[in-house]
């Protein structure tokens, strides 16, 4: 642990980043998803080989559930989805069935139920061999940063932050892996955001890349427990840590409107994410700044917010107070400092002073609005005008 801390201190100059192995608790870490190795990047070093705060397996992932449970959950999920009536898709309208089998829209979160639904959804995709496999996705993350699709129009009527809309557009986005030691698949879960009603979604580049051999599937699940394989990776920008993906299937999808302009400092910022398999955690803060970092590989620009997030929050949406998507969680960069403390003496030793590093401030870096919009075809000024 101390070795890791020391390395963090070394790495802090520009983008102090590290990723922990899955079972490692990540109290001090930097980025926000699924890494698989302890990986430290020092200033000026190659740019972050693996972004991401790992989903620390504090609760369920390390404790595989018995297969019986998984089956029950999967049945339950099927039942829940069975409630769906294609004519009542606009959940929330009077007289329609409100589709909320996992309790998420009411903010009644059962972590294990959601985790089990995720595993069941991924297992279904594996069984039916739907969508791109892991190797194909690894190829796809080398795609150009821009797709040739138009950015979905950001026509929002709402003038306030609607939790329900934000929750419906928010995805669990991650992998199932086979530990090789038991019969179960395990989830490694980050986030994503739906941005069009035909299944386009955004997540972090680092959520898609560098999967280990034990990774069996990369996919998304929505708030109802519906699983979606990845049909296509349309744009991938490693420096900005964003990827545009088309999900396979017909939805229904509930897109979040993408903000047209970059938010100014002090704009309210909400994050709805899944740190450490704690699902749908809503936090609030403000936009702190846009910061440009210079590294050997080039410059990168980030949207910093004060809304808390942590390991597993990667790829989740950052929203303004009208529910518009202004960014995606990407990483944290703790600023460390040493505190002198008396170390508990070992037997036969004298007490001595030692310096305990602690995170004095945590910078919370997100994919910028601009980088999100740059996943789409270059906009001409006329279409911009039409949106305003
Ligand atoms: Zn296992």
Tell whether the model's pLDDT for residue 62 goes beyond 70: no
Distance of CA 142 to the CA centre of its chain: 19
Bridge partners for 172 per DSSP:
191, 221
Same domain, 229 and 289: no
Which of 66-75, 222-231, 323-332, 365-374 shows the lowest mean pLDDT across its residues? 66-75
Task: Dump pLDDT digits (tens) for 166-209.
Answer: 999 999 999 999 999 999 999 999 999 999 999 999 999 999 99
3-state SS assignment for residue 244: strand
- For residues 377 and 150, the answer to whether their CB atoms sit within 8 Å is yes
Which of 154-168, 311-325, 361-375 shows the lowest mean pLDDT across its residues? 154-168
Q: Which residue has the higher pLDDT, 80 or 271?
A: 271
Mean pLDDT of 272-289: 98
Same domain, 230 and 166: yes
Cα(65)–Cα(124) distance, integer angstroms: 17
For residue 248, report the distance from its CA to the centre of ligand 1, in Å.
27
Q: Is the peptide bond before 252 cis (omega within 30 degrees of 0)?
A: yes
Residue 252 belongs to some domain of the structure: no
Same domain, 276 and 223: no
For residue 60, report the distance from its CA to the centre of ligand 1, in Å.
12
- Give whole-number Cα distances, 324 to 193, 216, 256, 267, 374, in Å: 11, 33, 6, 12, 16
**Owning domain of residue 379:** 268-342+353-387
For residue 211, report the distance from its CA to the centre of ligand 1, in Å.
17
Residues 6+ apart with CB under 8 A from 314: 31, 32, 33, 34, 51, 52, 53, 190, 191, 203, 204, 206, 207, 329, 330, 331
CATH at 111: 2.40.10.10
Highest mean pLDDT of the ranges 85-99, 158-172, 356-370: 356-370
Residue 36 belongs to some domain of the structure: yes
Residue 112: which H helix or E strand, with range?
A: helix 111-128
When divided into structural domains, the chain yields a total of: 3
Residue 303 DSSP symbol: E
Same domain, 29 and 73: no
For residue 193, report the distance from its CA to the centre of ligand 1, in Å.
28
Same domain, 27 and 122: no
For residue 175, report the distance from its CA to the centre of ligand 1, in Å.
14
Q: Can you give the pLDDT at residue 149?
A: 93
Percent of the chain residues topping a pLDDT of 90: 61
For residue 77, report the distance from its CA to the centre of ligand 1, in Å.
22
- For residues 318 and 269, the answer to whether their CB atoms sit within 8 Å is yes
Residue 73 belongs to some domain of the structure: yes
For residue 281, report the distance from its CA to the centre of ligand 1, in Å.
26
For residue 117, report the distance from its CA to the centre of ligand 1, in Å.
17
Same domain, 121 and 182: yes
Mean pLDDT of 90-113: 80
Task: Dump pLDDT digits (tens) for 22-54.
Answer: 333 333 335 554 333 333 333 333 223 233 333
Q: Can you give the pLDDT at residue 280?
A: 98
For residue 231, report the distance from its CA to the centre of ligand 1, in Å.
27
Cα(120)–Cα(138) distance, integer angstroms: 23
Same domain, 297 and 361: yes
- For residues 331 and 241, the answer to whether their CB atoms sit within 8 Å is yes
- For residues 273 and 238, the answer to whether their CB atoms sit within 8 Å is no
Q: Can you give the pLDDT at residue 382?
A: 53
Cα(224)–Cα(376) distance, integer angstroms: 28
For residue 209, report the distance from its CA to the centre of ligand 1, in Å.
22
Cα(230)–Cα(246) distance, integer angstroms: 6
Half-sphere exposure of 350 toward its Cβ, with a 13 Å CA cutoff? 2
For residue 64, report the distance from its CA to the centre of ligand 1, in Å.
6
Which residues fall inside 5 Å of ion ligand 1, going by CB?
Answer: 64, 179, 182, 184
Name the average pLDDT for the chain.
Answer: 78
For residue 188, report the distance from its CA to the centre of ligand 1, in Å.
12
Residue 348 belongs to some domain of the structure: no
Q: Can you give the pLDDT at residue 360?
A: 93
For residue 56, report the distance from its CA to the centre of ligand 1, in Å.
15
For residue 57, report the distance from its CA to the centre of ligand 1, in Å.
12
């Amino acid at each position: 642990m101390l070795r890791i801390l020391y390395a963090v201190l070394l790495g802090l100059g520009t983008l102090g980043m590290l990723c922990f192995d899955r079972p490692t608790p990540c109290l001090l870490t930097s980025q926000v998803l699924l890494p698989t190795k302890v990986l430290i990047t020092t200033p000026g070093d190659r740019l972050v080989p693996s972004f991401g705060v790992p989903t620390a397996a504090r609760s369920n992932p390390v404790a595989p559930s018995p297969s019986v449970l998984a089956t029950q959950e999967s049945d339950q999920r099927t039942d829940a989805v069975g409630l769906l009536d294609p004519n009542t898709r606009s959940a929330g309208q009077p007289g329609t069935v409100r589709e909320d089998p996992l309790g998420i829209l009411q903010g009644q979160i059962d972590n294990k139920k959601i985790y089990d639904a995720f595993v069941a959804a991924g297992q279904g995709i594996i069984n039916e061999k739907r969508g791109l496999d892991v190797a194909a996705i690894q190829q796809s993350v080398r795609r150009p940063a821009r797709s040739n699709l138009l950015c979905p129009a950001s026509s929002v009527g709402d003038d306030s932050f609607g939790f329900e809309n934000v929750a419906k557009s928010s995805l669990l986005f991650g992998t199932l892996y086979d530990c090789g030691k038991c019969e179960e698949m395990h989830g490694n879960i980050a986030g994503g955001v739906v941005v069009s009603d035909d299944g386009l979604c955004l997540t972090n580049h680092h959520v898609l890349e560098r999967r280990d051999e034990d990774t069996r599937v990369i996919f998304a699940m929505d708030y109802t427990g519906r699983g979606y394989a990845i049909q296509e990776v349309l744009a991938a920008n490693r420096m900005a840590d964003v990827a545009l993906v088309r999900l396979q299937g017909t939805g229904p999808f509930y897109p979040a409107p993408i903000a047209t302009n970059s938010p100014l400092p002090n704009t309210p910022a909400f994050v709805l994410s899944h740190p450490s398999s704690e699902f749908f955690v809503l936090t609030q803060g403000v936009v702190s700044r846009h910061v440009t970092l210079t590294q050997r590989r080039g410059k990168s620009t980030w949207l910093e917010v004060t809304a808390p997030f942590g390991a597993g929050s990667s790829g989740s949406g950052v929203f303004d107070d009208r529910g518009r998507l202004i960014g995606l969680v990407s990483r944290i960069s703790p600023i460390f400092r040493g505190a002198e403390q008396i170390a508990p003496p070992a037997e036969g030793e004298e007490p001595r002073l030692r310096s305990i590093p602690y995170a004095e401030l945590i910078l919370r870096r997100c994919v910028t609005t601009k980088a999100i919009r740059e996943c789409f075809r270059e906009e001409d000024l006329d279409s911009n005008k039409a949106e305003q």
